[in-house]
Amino acid sequence: MIQDATIRVTLYKSKILSNGEHPLMLVVTKDGKRKYSALGISCHADKWNFQKNEPKKNHPDKLKIETIVAKRIAELQNKALDLKLYEQAFTSDSLVSSVKKPKGKNDVFAYMDALIAEFIQKEKIGNANVYKDIKQALQRFTDKSETLPFFNVNEDFLNRWETYCRERNMAETSISVYFRTLRAVFNHAIRKKVISKGLYPFNDFKISKFETETRKRAISREDIRKIEALDVSKQFQVQLAKDVFVFSFYNQGINLIDIARLRWSQIEQDRLRYTRSKTGKRFNLKLLEPAIQILERYRALSGSNPNNYVFPILFTDRHITPIQIDNRIQALTSRINKNLKEIGKMAGIETPLTTYVARHSYATVLKMQGNSTAVISEAMGHESESVTQIYLDAFENSVIEEANKGLL
């Protein structure tokens, strides 16, 4: 008791979490008024000793829980002692508010916030948005908890989160992204020596079990020619979608985000120089004739100023901040992909077209021409050949299927 304030831990049975556990709370009482402070950890009622207000001896994380509780109580007691020494009055509410909540390097949510801030600083808004979405998903799963200690995320936690996602009929690819991103957070924290390798929960929980194969994304060289032959010049937005698709195909599968950011200063005669947003890899490409023709179509619109964007996706006077740029690209991506699907129907192509199909098609056409996976990987700016192989899996399967016909 310090200055007539008492601090104790309690299992808050009034609230039941999705995993059947109850949150652990600190109860600060002063002048007859109570203030509850969440610890960010929880416990099953059958694993809690209500007489001693501590985890039972058979609780697997007894020591960890007691350590967190003791640390938090000590923080509050030290703060109360400081206030007493300086003869400053306080209430139970002001005492709790004066001590930062137990979020920091050892908390998943706090660590993700730091990574998000770093992404934004580096203008990687897309990555920041992915981490924001997954943090929100985790908070929904943990009943909007403000904290998630790393040690709480174990194999059992991951299994329950997987069940939670499946019960909500989430797509397999989405679940895979959720878990791969969380794994990336752990790997980053371990690499930075924020947490120990012993806390890594993905040794037994295998993300590879998620079925992430998608429908065929690449189209043939003949289908590319069908798209090129279409006359959509009277429909500006459709023409833009066609040009973006064809430009990507003829420039080593350049991503839409990098196409949108291209400025005329990056076009020097018959060469294109740019840095890939996703990986930071620099490219210096020789422009092929179809790509040059596309550039000439837009030169009259924006080519008078080398600082202008090449394609009418971004505009220098409207899209200034990284967030404005990202929001604009996201909005245009949806519109462009919608128009590409219409182009596919017009050309009689069964595969639903997206900007990503152009990138896959570039890789597949090069493979069909006999180029090695290593060459294709370098051309596309992949960090490893294993990434490139994902692009080529559909091609490899079709080759095998064709070869199997020889058995008949």
What's the maximum distance between 2 C-alpha atoms anywhere in the chain?
Answer: 93
Do 144 and 192 meet the contact criterion of CB atoms below 8 Å apart?
no
Residue 102 has φ and ψ, to the nearest 5°, of: -70, 60
Amino acid at 191: R
- Residue 58, classed as helix, strand or coil, is coil
Render each residue's pLDDT in the chain as its tens digit; 408 residues.
445 789 999 999 988 877 788 888 999 998 889 999 888 788 899 999 999 999 999 988 888 788 888 888 888 888 888 887 777 888 888 888 877 554 456 789 988 988 888 888 787 888 888 899 999 999 999 887 778 888 889 888 999 999 998 888 888 888 888 999 999 999 999 998 888 888 899 988 888 777 655 455 788 889 999 999 999 999 999 999 999 999 999 998 898 999 999 999 999 989 999 998 877 888 888 999 999 999 999 998 988 899 999 999 999 998 988 888 888 998 899 899 999 999 999 999 998 999 988 988 888 888 777 777 677 776 766 666 565 665 565 554 554 444 444 444
pLDDT at 399: 44
For residue 70, CA distances in Å to 66, 78, 156, 305 come to 6, 12, 25, 64
Burial 202-223 (b: 16+ CB within 10 A, else e): beebebeebeeeeebbbbeeeb
Do 29 and 6 touch, CB atoms closer than 8 A? yes
Nearest in space to 207 (alpha carbons), one of 269, 249, 165, 267: 165
pLDDT in tens, 214-229: 455 788 889 999 999 9
Find residue 54's DSSP bridge partners: 49
* Residue count of the chain: 408
The pTM of this model reads: 0.58
Instruction: Find out whether 320 and 309 touch, Cβ atoms under 8 Å.
Output: no
Give the CA distances from residue 353 to residues 238, 295, 319, 345, in Å, rounded to whole numbers and listed in that order: 13, 22, 27, 9
The DSSP letter of residue 107 is: B
Q: How far is CA 267 from CA 46, 53, 285, in A?
A: 68, 70, 10
**pLDDT for the residue numbered 401:** 46
The pLDDT tens digits of the residues spanning 50-69 come to: 999 999 999 888 887 888 88
